[in-house]
Amino acid sequence: MATVKVSGMTCDGCAAAVKRAVEKAAPGARATVSLGRGEVEIEGATDLAAAKAAIVAAGFGVAE
């Protein structure tokens, strides 16, 4: 499991968008977004770089 810090999420819509982006970019992965902590936990076989790129493409920021 990996935890990625995500910036720019302000509402449940943002959280849902991040979840969708990660799960689309990394098939088989399961993403659990915490809006309060500003992060997403990613479980499953995951191309983390692709997941981060998808988050950025969706309009949010990721921390290393």
- CA angle 16/40/35 to nearest 5° reads 60
CA distance 17 to 9: 9
Q: Does 13 bind Cu ion (CB under 5 A)?
A: yes
Q: Residue 4: beta bridge partners?
A: 40
| Minimum CB distance to Cu ion, residue 28 (Å) | 26
Pick the closer one to Cu ion by CB: 44 or 59: 59
Q: Does 11 bind Cu ion (CB under 5 A)?
A: yes
Q: Does 7 bind Cu ion (CB under 5 A)?
A: no
In the complex, the residues that contact Cu ion under the rule CB under 5 A are 10-11, 13-14
